Structure 1
Amino acid sequence: MPVAKPTIVIVHGGWHVPESYEKLVVALENSGYEVHCPRLPSTNQVRPPNADLYTDSDFIRSYVSSLVRAGRTVVAVSHSYGGAVANNALMGLGQTTRAAQGLPGGVSHMVFMAAFATAEDVAMMDKVKEAGHMDLIPLAFDFAEDNTVLSHDPKTLLVGPSEVSEEELDRYLATLVRWNGKGMYQPIKNAAWRETAVGYIYCTADMTVPFDYQKDFVEGMLKAGRSVQTSELATGHCPNLTATEGVVEAINKFIKG
């Protein structure tokens, strides 16, 4: 009998909501996966915000825990800020860790898609400071007094060059929402990549999480002793829209090992 494919949980990025990943969800489902993309609380549009990185982490941990307790093998695919959420949320849910405890199911792979993948006690903005790019923050992001934030130019800075139609691009941009930017400044407490197989999808034309950042994340995991499979897409920050089939191919490759 053929081995059942794992369940994929997409941990979405800032500004994004599940509808932003519809194209990728459909492509993954067409490849035989069951796909979940729950909405992070920090995108709930409440002002002042009532959810942040740690709220999002608790939510994703609960969501994935319910799947692995049911015996599911889960692949966590995180995008952008979602990498910080997934890392913080999923420690202890690794398939190998659970098997050693005699427990079924678990997270077999973490796939980072132009996503933050740092060690413990590091915030997203710490990497920006490290790179000497803090002067670019006001140019890229529009922070309100309550810390909610929008991208100044999502068409250029998030999506970037693409071959999608103007109609499709407009539909995608219309899904983006105001998000609690406090999550950029909160350090993660856990690094779940330490206990799973890891894949990283590089987006070489990314203007929001630059390629140099992405390579630095992978180098950090390698130095920590993790093996990291990589795939490279010549696209901007949203390959779920602009390089969908390439994302599916990369995920398939990572899962097959």
Structure 2
Amino acid sequence: MAAATKPTIVIVPGAWQLPNAWDEFRAVLARANHQSYHVALPSVGGTELPLTGLAEDVAAVQHVVGGLADHGDEIILLCHSSGGVVGSNAVQGYDRATRQAAGKVGGVVRVVYLSAFMLPVGKSLMDMLGGQPLPWMIVDNDRVTGDPAQMPEIGFNDLPADEKAYWATQVTWTSAALFASPSQFAPWNNGIPCSYIFQTIDNALPLNLQQSMAQQIQAAPNPLEASIDAGHCGFLSMPGALLGALKDVIGGN
């Protein structure tokens, strides 16, 4: 199989959302001749007990990335929300430079954070939230959900009322173990190109927090940034604008 002429986009989703939330944006990517894959993370909606955490999510991403890289694909990891910590850890050993040094083809050429968490090594998502869940999060033993009464405005505030209500029903739980797992790798400190796409009216991960975390990409080679005037899920509310921002932060391809 020949390598793709454009980078392959591997989507590392955030907490709670089912794969259908990304269908429209993946259609936009396809029309722009980008092959894309959405990784179903075991921590999201998992039913096998005990519920899994970061390590299993990382393994799921690496399984997809490894297969694509072995075919010669150059890969962009597009990480949303809590998917930022998953993607950061999953890229270790799978970036193009590391694979080339080992005599292998393909690999991740850039990690793109979309309103996503960038965690210092040793810190967990819960650490970044100040040690306890946010007011709109509900912790029920081993799982975390979003408060149904608040989710429409937290996650989907820039969508029309009917779509806001619909997408708020299309969510599930995430394993509490994911929030407690410390990050083990920071790609921006290890020579891997990184980008950040800010979503300026995000009620789940406010812009000031995005900006604070995104300062870390300045340590990476060729750091790139873009912004869209979207809520937390710009892939739902403005997929075309998100495609434009993505092109800007991966070099225009």
Aligned mates of 1:250, 1:214 — CA distance in 2: 16
1:184 corresponding residue in structure 2: 179
C-alpha RMSD of the superposition = 1.9
Decide whether the 8 Å contact of 2:40 with 2:60 is kept in 1.
Answer: no
Aligned mates of 1:181, 1:237 — CA distance in 2: 21
Deviation at 1:174, TM superposition (A): 2.9
Aligned partner letter, 1:237: H
TM-score normalised to the size of structure 2?
0.90
1:123 corresponding residue in structure 2: 124
Aligned mates of 1:47, 1:174 — CA distance in 2: 22
1:1-257 pair list within 5 angstroms:
4-46=5-47, 48-129=49-130, 137=133, 139-146=135-142, 148-152=143-147, 153-160=150-157, 162=158, 164-193=159-188, 194-222=190-218, 224-256=219-251
SS at 2:120 equivalent: coil
Aligned mates of 2:40, 2:166 — CA distance in 1: 18
Deviation at 1:122, TM superposition (A): 1.5
Decide whether the 8 Å contact of 2:195 with 2:217 is kept in 1.
Answer: no
Aligned mates of 2:182, 2:139 — CA distance in 1: 19
Structure richer in helix, relative to its length:
1
Decide whether the 8 Å contact of 2:124 with 2:180 is kept in 1.
Answer: yes
Aligned partner letter, 1:219: Q
Deviation at 1:138, TM superposition (A): 5.0
Number of residue pairs matched by the alignment: 246
Deviation at 1:38, TM superposition (A): 2.0
Decide whether the 8 Å contact of 2:43 with 2:174 is kept in 1.
Answer: yes
Decide whether the 8 Å contact of 2:82 with 2:116 is kept in 1.
Answer: yes
Change (3 A) 1:229 1:56: same
Give the percent of matched residue pairs that are identical in Structure 1 and Structure 2: 24
Deviation at 1:196, TM superposition (A): 2.5
Aligned partner letter, 1:20: A
Decide whether the 8 Å contact of 1:118 with 1:220 is kept in 2.
Answer: no
Aligned mates of 2:31, 2:163 — CA distance in 1: 20
Aligned mates of 2:50, 2:80 — CA distance in 1: 21
Decide whether the 8 Å contact of 2:88 with 2:187 is kept in 1.
Answer: yes
Deviation at 1:92, TM superposition (A): 1.4
**Deviations 1:121-144 (CA, angstroms, capped at 9, x unpaired):** 121122222xxxx57x35210110
**Deviations 1:133-181 (CA, angstroms, capped at 9, x unpaired):** x57x3521011022x1111121111122x1x433433442232111113
Any gaps of 5 or more consecutive residues in structure 2?
none
**Deviations 1:13-57 (CA, angstroms, capped at 9, x unpaired):** 000121111111111111111110021111134165421111111
Change (3 A) 1:49 1:248: farther
Decide whether the 8 Å contact of 1:9 with 1:74 is kept in 2.
Answer: yes
Aligned mates of 1:28, 1:225 — CA distance in 2: 26
Deviation at 1:112, TM superposition (A): 0.5
Aligned mates of 2:120, 2:221 — CA distance in 1: 12
Aligned partner letter, 1:188: S
Aligned partner letter, 1:87: S
Aligned mates of 2:216, 2:69 — CA distance in 1: 28
Aligned mates of 2:155, 2:134 — CA distance in 1: 15
Decide whether the 8 Å contact of 2:52 with 2:177 is kept in 1.
Answer: no
Decide whether the 8 Å contact of 1:142 with 1:150 is kept in 2.
Answer: yes
Change (3 A) 1:53 1:74: same
Change (3 A) 1:184 1:239: same
SS at 1:9 equivalent: strand
